[in-house]
Structure 1
């Protein structure tokens, strides 16, 4: 074989080997080296306008924060360790206030188990309230389920002290896939003054709005 043919063959082989090595390096490179992976979309929260209308006050929404609102820790705190959660608080210039808590679980199955546990904690909360303070009587009403996404459940919780102070809360637990949300509304008074129908609408909106 002529010398120039040997040189040409060697050059062609080196070119082919270089191309193969380059292709192999490209395949072995981590995905993050060429493109950034988008962060998961966080769940959305209610706006002030989506809460049950107050007859004589305007709702104001705080910014979304990490953690669990103090108002929910007594009834629900035992079910929440180990989960990252965020919440938004709502207030009026009178006695009404509200909160929305969201927890993103690692899977649909974990979120389903968490929702089941939260419902259980709400149902047992009156007994724990009375056990923690003999001066308080607590009563729970079950307002049933809502057909939204993977479902939601609504409750009313009334407390009365021995000196006559009364508070009413509406709570709901809803789930959309791997995310659970809890909505809590409260003010002074009893069951008769609770806006149950409007709160059910707010809960449906909260679950639908997550994603």
Structure 2
């Protein structure tokens, strides 16, 4: 049975409450050491306010994870980030038993994002979803950046996501806001930092 436990990497006072900055979702007899993870300041600069750690609970793949495609629980960690008003983000890290399994997970995650436009339009045929492949980031075994979004009731919702790998470790990073234009170049640097910080 998986033993779920919480590990605090950093704490930040928000509204008088302490918010845990990282969650480890799996611990076993072969527990891996937690890789390095992004700090809030590593997220794309926000024109209105500073990034901070946020409470856990964001969807790992935003809206792109189809039912029946679970992500690993053993040796996995997560951070959520937010600005007070305009943006949110996350990082998830998965340490696999072998590099081959990490390659397979990377393929699963890439497929989730490349298929996100079709999946969202299946669920919400009234919404016109746009999708962009923003290409590769040259870091360790590589990373790939994706974008999607739609016009909401009062603003444009933009999402960026990336999948990167270093050996047997895979990371996913997400950014979301109702900015008019997604900060693709800055997010690529965030992705580069995320993969480089793993080890």
Same fold per superposition (TM over 0.5):
yes
Query: What's the counterpart of residue 10 of structure 2?
Result: none
Quick check: which has more Rg, 1 or 2?
A: 1
2:137 is aligned with 1:149: no
The corresponding residue for 1:74 is: 63
Q: SS of the counterpart of 1:140?
A: strand
Superposed CA offset, 1:68-119 (max 9, x none) = 7326253135443444332100011112111001111111000011101111
| Contact 2:32–2:95 (CA under 8 A) maintained in structure 1 | no
Matched, 1:185 2:148: no
- Of 159, 164, 179, which residue of structure 2 is paired with 1:169? 159
- Provide the residue aligned with 1:160 in structure 2: 151
- Pair 81,41 (structure 1): closer, same or farther in 2 beyond 3 Å: closer
Gaps of 5+ in 1: 1-36
> How many residues in Structure 1 have an aligned counterpart in Structure 2?
169
Shift of 1:145: 0.5
More helix by percentage:
1
Q: CA shift at 1:155, angstroms?
A: 0.9
Q: In proportion to residue count, which structure has more strand?
A: 2
TM-score scaled by structure 2? 0.77
1:195 aligned onto 2:195? no
Deviations 1:156-208 (A, max 9, x none): 111224x4542001110000111110000010144xx1111111000000001
Once the 2 structures are TM-superposed, how far is the Cα of residue 135 of structure 1 from its aligned partner?
Answer: 2.0
Long gaps (5+) in structure 2 = 1-28
TM-score, normalised by the number of residues in structure 1: 0.73
